[in-house]
Amino acid sequence: MSRRVTPLLNLNGIPSPLITQTSERVSMCLISAKTWGHCSDARVLCLHGIQDNCGTFDRLIPLLRRGFYYVCVDTPGHGRSSHYPPGFRITMECYALAVKRVIDYLKWDRFKCIGHSMGGIIASLFTSLYPEHVASLVMIDCAGPEPVHAQETVKWLRTACDGLLTIERKAASGSPPSYTREQAVDTLITKRLSKLTRDSANVLVERSLVDSPGGRHAFCMDQRLKVFYNQMFTPTQYMAVVSSIRCSVLYLRASDNPLQKSPGNKLVRKIYKLNPNVRVVKVNGNHDVHLNHPERVADLINTFLLSERSKI
Protein backbone atom coordinates (compact mmCIF):
# COMPACT_ATOMS: atom_id res chain seq x y z
CA MET A 1 0.00 0.00 0.00
CA SER A 2 1.16 3.54 -0.74
CA ARG A 3 0.21 6.86 0.73
CA ARG A 4 0.55 10.30 -0.81
CA VAL A 5 -0.38 13.51 1.03
CA THR A 6 -0.38 16.95 -0.63
CA PRO A 7 -1.49 20.12 1.24
CA LEU A 8 -4.22 22.06 -0.55
CA LEU A 9 -5.57 25.58 -0.12
CA ASN A 10 -7.91 25.94 2.84
CA LEU A 11 -11.39 26.45 1.39
CA ASN A 12 -12.45 29.08 3.91
CA GLY A 13 -9.17 31.01 3.80
CA ILE A 14 -8.20 30.18 7.38
CA PRO A 15 -4.68 28.79 7.93
CA SER A 16 -6.10 25.94 10.05
CA PRO A 17 -7.53 23.32 9.74
CA LEU A 18 -5.20 21.83 7.16
CA ILE A 19 -6.87 20.38 4.09
CA THR A 20 -5.03 17.57 2.37
CA GLN A 21 -5.64 15.10 -0.36
CA THR A 22 -4.72 11.53 0.39
CA SER A 23 -4.61 8.44 -1.79
CA GLU A 24 -4.65 4.94 -0.32
CA ARG A 25 -4.08 1.79 -2.39
CA VAL A 26 -6.37 -0.73 -0.73
CA SER A 27 -6.85 -4.25 -2.10
CA MET A 28 -5.93 -3.29 -5.70
CA CYS A 29 -8.14 -0.19 -5.61
CA LEU A 30 -6.78 3.33 -5.18
CA ILE A 31 -9.02 5.18 -2.74
CA SER A 32 -8.64 8.96 -2.60
CA ALA A 33 -9.76 11.31 0.16
CA LYS A 34 -9.64 14.87 1.46
CA THR A 35 -9.07 15.64 5.12
CA TRP A 36 -9.72 18.57 7.41
CA GLY A 37 -8.16 19.02 10.84
CA HIS A 38 -5.39 17.17 12.61
CA CYS A 39 -5.08 13.39 12.76
CA SER A 40 -4.85 13.51 16.57
CA ASP A 41 -8.37 15.00 16.83
CA ALA A 42 -11.59 13.03 17.21
CA ARG A 43 -12.15 11.10 13.99
CA VAL A 44 -15.06 11.58 11.59
CA LEU A 45 -15.43 9.57 8.37
CA CYS A 46 -17.53 11.25 5.66
CA LEU A 47 -19.16 9.28 2.82
CA HIS A 48 -20.76 10.93 -0.23
CA GLY A 49 -23.80 9.93 -2.27
CA ILE A 50 -24.08 7.97 -5.50
CA GLN A 51 -22.45 9.55 -8.59
CA ASP A 52 -20.96 12.28 -6.36
CA ASN A 53 -17.54 12.56 -4.72
CA CYS A 54 -15.99 13.75 -1.48
CA GLY A 55 -16.28 17.35 -2.71
CA THR A 56 -19.92 17.14 -1.64
CA PHE A 57 -18.73 18.08 1.87
CA ASP A 58 -16.52 21.02 0.80
CA ARG A 59 -19.09 23.64 1.79
CA LEU A 60 -20.36 21.89 4.92
CA ILE A 61 -17.19 20.96 6.79
CA PRO A 62 -15.83 24.53 7.07
CA LEU A 63 -19.03 25.25 9.06
CA LEU A 64 -18.50 22.32 11.43
CA ARG A 65 -16.67 22.56 14.74
CA ARG A 66 -12.91 22.41 15.04
CA GLY A 67 -11.38 19.66 17.13
CA PHE A 68 -12.44 16.90 14.73
CA TYR A 69 -10.44 15.16 12.03
CA TYR A 70 -12.73 14.84 8.99
CA VAL A 71 -11.70 12.23 6.42
CA CYS A 72 -13.88 12.48 3.28
CA VAL A 73 -13.49 9.50 0.99
CA ASP A 74 -14.10 9.12 -2.75
CA THR A 75 -15.67 5.65 -2.72
CA PRO A 76 -14.51 3.30 -5.53
CA GLY A 77 -15.91 4.31 -8.91
CA HIS A 78 -16.28 7.95 -7.85
CA GLY A 79 -14.09 11.05 -7.93
CA ARG A 80 -10.38 10.33 -7.98
CA SER A 81 -10.65 6.78 -6.69
CA SER A 82 -10.21 3.93 -9.14
CA HIS A 83 -13.00 1.63 -10.28
CA TYR A 84 -13.73 -1.88 -9.14
CA PRO A 85 -12.64 -4.60 -11.59
CA PRO A 86 -15.20 -5.23 -14.35
CA GLY A 87 -17.62 -8.10 -14.54
CA PHE A 88 -19.86 -7.82 -11.47
CA ARG A 89 -22.66 -5.70 -10.03
CA ILE A 90 -21.55 -3.19 -7.38
CA THR A 91 -23.61 -3.54 -4.20
CA MET A 92 -23.74 -1.99 -0.75
CA GLU A 93 -21.66 -4.88 0.58
CA CYS A 94 -18.79 -3.83 -1.72
CA TYR A 95 -18.81 -0.34 -0.25
CA ALA A 96 -19.18 -1.47 3.36
CA LEU A 97 -16.12 -3.67 2.82
CA ALA A 98 -14.24 -0.72 1.28
CA VAL A 99 -14.95 1.30 4.43
CA LYS A 100 -13.59 -1.54 6.58
CA ARG A 101 -10.41 -1.67 4.50
CA VAL A 102 -9.95 2.08 4.79
CA ILE A 103 -10.32 2.19 8.57
CA ASP A 104 -8.07 -0.86 8.93
CA TYR A 105 -5.42 0.98 6.91
CA LEU A 106 -5.86 4.12 9.00
CA LYS A 107 -5.81 1.98 12.17
CA TRP A 108 -9.02 3.55 13.45
CA ASP A 109 -10.71 1.60 16.22
CA ARG A 110 -13.54 4.05 16.89
CA PHE A 111 -14.89 6.99 14.93
CA LYS A 112 -17.95 9.04 14.06
CA CYS A 113 -19.53 8.99 10.62
CA ILE A 114 -21.42 11.40 8.37
CA GLY A 115 -23.04 10.05 5.20
CA HIS A 116 -25.13 11.71 2.52
CA SER A 117 -27.66 9.68 0.53
CA MET A 118 -25.99 6.41 -0.53
CA GLY A 119 -23.08 7.33 1.75
CA GLY A 120 -25.44 7.29 4.71
CA ILE A 121 -26.82 3.94 3.61
CA ILE A 122 -23.29 2.53 3.34
CA ALA A 123 -22.52 3.92 6.80
CA SER A 124 -25.72 2.41 8.18
CA LEU A 125 -24.87 -1.05 6.83
CA PHE A 126 -21.28 -0.77 8.04
CA THR A 127 -22.47 0.31 11.50
CA SER A 128 -24.78 -2.68 11.75
CA LEU A 129 -21.98 -5.05 10.67
CA TYR A 130 -19.25 -3.45 12.79
CA PRO A 131 -21.02 -1.64 15.66
CA GLU A 132 -17.85 -1.67 17.76
CA HIS A 133 -16.24 0.86 15.41
CA VAL A 134 -18.90 3.59 15.06
CA ALA A 135 -19.52 5.97 17.97
CA SER A 136 -22.30 7.96 16.27
CA LEU A 137 -23.80 8.41 12.82
CA VAL A 138 -25.30 11.31 10.85
CA MET A 139 -27.42 10.30 7.86
CA ILE A 140 -28.28 13.15 5.47
CA ASP A 141 -31.42 12.51 3.41
CA CYS A 142 -30.99 8.80 2.84
CA ALA A 143 -33.98 7.87 0.67
CA GLY A 144 -33.61 4.11 0.72
CA PRO A 145 -32.58 1.57 -0.11
CA GLU A 146 -36.14 0.38 -0.34
CA PRO A 147 -36.73 -3.16 0.92
CA VAL A 148 -37.59 -5.76 -1.71
CA HIS A 149 -40.56 -7.92 -0.83
CA ALA A 150 -39.84 -11.62 -1.18
CA GLN A 151 -42.26 -12.11 -4.08
CA GLU A 152 -40.44 -9.38 -6.08
CA THR A 153 -36.93 -10.78 -5.65
CA VAL A 154 -36.71 -12.45 -9.06
CA LYS A 155 -38.05 -9.36 -10.85
CA TRP A 156 -35.51 -7.02 -9.21
CA LEU A 157 -32.61 -9.42 -9.66
CA ARG A 158 -33.43 -9.87 -13.36
CA THR A 159 -33.61 -6.08 -13.75
CA ALA A 160 -30.19 -5.70 -12.09
CA CYS A 161 -28.59 -8.41 -14.24
CA ASP A 162 -30.02 -7.00 -17.48
CA GLY A 163 -28.93 -3.52 -16.45
CA LEU A 164 -25.36 -4.64 -15.87
CA LEU A 165 -25.19 -6.38 -19.25
CA THR A 166 -26.56 -3.26 -20.99
CA ILE A 167 -23.95 -1.05 -19.32
CA GLU A 168 -21.16 -3.45 -20.33
CA ARG A 169 -22.30 -3.47 -23.97
CA LYS A 170 -22.42 0.33 -24.09
CA ALA A 171 -18.96 0.60 -22.54
CA ALA A 172 -17.54 -1.78 -25.13
CA SER A 173 -19.16 -0.01 -28.09
CA GLY A 174 -17.46 3.38 -27.89
CA SER A 175 -16.09 6.29 -25.93
CA PRO A 176 -18.17 8.16 -23.34
CA PRO A 177 -19.60 11.59 -24.21
CA SER A 178 -17.18 14.50 -23.81
CA TYR A 179 -17.84 18.04 -22.64
CA THR A 180 -16.22 21.36 -22.03
CA ARG A 181 -15.99 22.12 -18.34
CA GLU A 182 -18.90 24.54 -18.57
CA GLN A 183 -21.00 21.96 -20.42
CA ALA A 184 -20.21 19.44 -17.68
CA VAL A 185 -21.40 21.90 -15.03
CA ASP A 186 -24.58 22.55 -17.03
CA THR A 187 -25.14 18.79 -17.31
CA LEU A 188 -24.96 18.38 -13.54
CA ILE A 189 -27.41 21.24 -13.07
CA THR A 190 -29.98 20.20 -15.69
CA LYS A 191 -29.97 16.39 -15.55
CA ARG A 192 -29.73 15.75 -11.84
CA LEU A 193 -33.04 14.90 -10.12
CA SER A 194 -32.01 16.97 -7.11
CA LYS A 195 -31.28 20.47 -8.38
CA LEU A 196 -27.87 21.95 -7.65
CA THR A 197 -26.91 25.59 -7.53
CA ARG A 198 -24.16 26.55 -9.97
CA ASP A 199 -21.74 26.96 -7.07
CA SER A 200 -22.56 23.43 -5.88
CA ALA A 201 -22.15 21.98 -9.37
CA ASN A 202 -18.76 23.68 -9.70
CA VAL A 203 -17.67 22.05 -6.44
CA LEU A 204 -18.69 18.54 -7.53
CA VAL A 205 -17.30 18.81 -11.05
CA GLU A 206 -13.77 19.36 -9.72
CA ARG A 207 -13.46 15.64 -8.93
CA SER A 208 -15.97 14.31 -11.47
CA LEU A 209 -14.05 14.69 -14.74
CA VAL A 210 -11.16 13.07 -16.60
CA ASP A 211 -9.44 14.58 -19.61
CA SER A 212 -10.53 13.66 -23.13
CA PRO A 213 -8.89 14.52 -26.48
CA GLY A 214 -9.18 18.08 -27.75
CA GLY A 215 -9.16 19.70 -24.33
CA ARG A 216 -12.52 18.21 -23.43
CA HIS A 217 -13.61 16.12 -20.44
CA ALA A 218 -15.65 13.02 -19.64
CA PHE A 219 -17.38 12.08 -16.41
CA CYS A 220 -15.26 9.53 -14.55
CA MET A 221 -18.07 7.81 -12.65
CA ASP A 222 -18.27 4.03 -12.96
CA GLN A 223 -21.32 3.48 -15.18
CA ARG A 224 -22.29 0.39 -13.17
CA LEU A 225 -23.52 2.80 -10.51
CA LYS A 226 -26.58 3.30 -12.73
CA VAL A 227 -27.55 -0.30 -11.98
CA PHE A 228 -29.70 -1.19 -8.95
CA TYR A 229 -27.16 -1.45 -6.09
CA ASN A 230 -29.44 -2.64 -3.29
CA GLN A 231 -28.68 -5.85 -1.37
CA MET A 232 -32.35 -6.73 -1.96
CA PHE A 233 -33.18 -7.24 1.70
CA THR A 234 -36.77 -8.08 2.53
CA PRO A 235 -38.44 -5.78 5.10
CA THR A 236 -37.75 -8.36 7.81
CA GLN A 237 -34.06 -8.59 6.85
CA TYR A 238 -33.79 -4.80 6.63
CA MET A 239 -35.30 -4.45 10.08
CA ALA A 240 -32.74 -6.91 11.45
CA VAL A 241 -29.92 -4.84 9.93
CA VAL A 242 -31.19 -1.51 11.30
CA SER A 243 -31.92 -2.94 14.73
CA SER A 244 -28.25 -3.96 14.96
CA ILE A 245 -27.20 -0.29 15.01
CA ARG A 246 -26.21 0.46 18.61
CA CYS A 247 -24.92 4.03 18.38
CA SER A 248 -26.85 7.30 18.34
CA VAL A 249 -28.10 8.27 14.86
CA LEU A 250 -29.17 11.69 13.59
CA TYR A 251 -31.31 11.06 10.51
CA LEU A 252 -31.80 14.34 8.60
CA ARG A 253 -34.67 14.22 6.13
CA ALA A 254 -34.93 16.91 3.43
CA SER A 255 -38.36 18.48 3.08
CA ASP A 256 -38.16 18.82 -0.71
CA ASN A 257 -37.35 15.31 -1.88
CA PRO A 258 -40.27 13.54 -3.61
CA LEU A 259 -38.58 10.16 -3.16
CA GLN A 260 -39.03 10.45 0.59
CA LYS A 261 -42.79 10.30 0.04
CA SER A 262 -42.81 6.93 -1.74
CA PRO A 263 -44.34 3.97 0.13
CA GLY A 264 -40.98 2.17 0.14
CA ASN A 265 -39.12 5.08 1.72
CA LYS A 266 -41.87 5.68 4.24
CA LEU A 267 -41.36 2.04 5.26
CA VAL A 268 -37.61 2.66 5.51
CA ARG A 269 -38.13 5.60 7.90
CA LYS A 270 -40.56 3.55 9.95
CA ILE A 271 -37.92 0.83 10.30
CA TYR A 272 -35.32 3.37 11.45
CA LYS A 273 -37.75 4.96 13.90
CA LEU A 274 -38.26 1.56 15.54
CA ASN A 275 -34.63 1.76 16.66
CA PRO A 276 -34.64 3.89 19.86
CA ASN A 277 -31.15 5.19 19.03
CA VAL A 278 -32.40 7.00 15.91
CA ARG A 279 -33.67 10.60 15.89
CA VAL A 280 -35.33 11.81 12.66
CA VAL A 281 -35.29 15.57 11.96
CA LYS A 282 -36.80 17.27 8.90
CA VAL A 283 -34.74 20.11 7.38
CA ASN A 284 -35.76 22.70 4.81
CA GLY A 285 -34.22 22.00 1.41
CA ASN A 286 -33.79 19.40 -1.30
CA HIS A 287 -31.76 16.21 -1.41
CA ASP A 288 -28.49 18.19 -1.65
CA VAL A 289 -29.31 20.65 1.13
CA HIS A 290 -25.93 20.00 2.79
CA LEU A 291 -24.19 21.28 -0.37
CA ASN A 292 -26.63 23.93 -1.60
CA HIS A 293 -27.40 25.36 1.85
CA PRO A 294 -24.96 23.83 4.38
CA GLU A 295 -25.90 26.38 7.04
CA ARG A 296 -29.30 24.68 7.35
CA VAL A 297 -27.79 21.46 8.67
CA ALA A 298 -24.47 22.58 10.21
CA ASP A 299 -25.86 23.56 13.63
CA LEU A 300 -27.78 20.30 13.95
CA ILE A 301 -24.69 18.30 13.10
CA ASN A 302 -22.46 20.37 15.39
CA THR A 303 -24.79 19.89 18.34
CA PHE A 304 -24.98 16.17 17.66
CA LEU A 305 -21.20 15.73 17.24
CA LEU A 306 -20.46 17.64 20.43
CA SER A 307 -23.11 15.79 22.45
CA GLU A 308 -21.66 12.47 21.33
CA ARG A 309 -18.01 13.53 21.55
CA SER A 310 -17.31 11.87 24.87
CA LYS A 311 -18.40 8.49 23.52
CA ILE A 312 -15.36 7.95 21.29
Q: Is residue 161 part of a domain?
A: no
In a domain, 143, yes or no: yes
Instruction: Tell whether 12 is covered by a domain.
Output: yes
pLDDT of residue 146: 86
Q: Does some domain include residue 301?
A: yes
174-228 per-position pLDDT tens digit? 778 899 999 999 999 998 888 999 999 999 999 999 988 888 999 999 999 999 8
What span, in angstroms and rounded, lies between the C-alpha atoms of 213 and 82? Answer: 20
Let me know: does 152 contact 175? Beta carbons within 8 Å: no
**pLDDT by residue (tens digit) across 64-121?**
999 999 999 999 999 999 999 999 999 999 999 999 999 999 999 999 999 999 999 9
Q: Residue 11 belongs to a domain with what CATH number?
A: 3.40.50.1820
**What's the pLDDT score for residue 29?**
72
Which of 243, 225, 224 has the alpha carbon at shortest distance from 233?
A: 243
Which helix H or strand E contains 240, and what residues bound it?
Answer: helix 235-243
What is the tally of structural domains in the chain?
1
Domain of residue 24: give its range.
3-150+229-311
The residues annotated as belonging to the active site are 117
> Side-chain half-sphere of 121: how many Cα atoms within 13 Å?
23
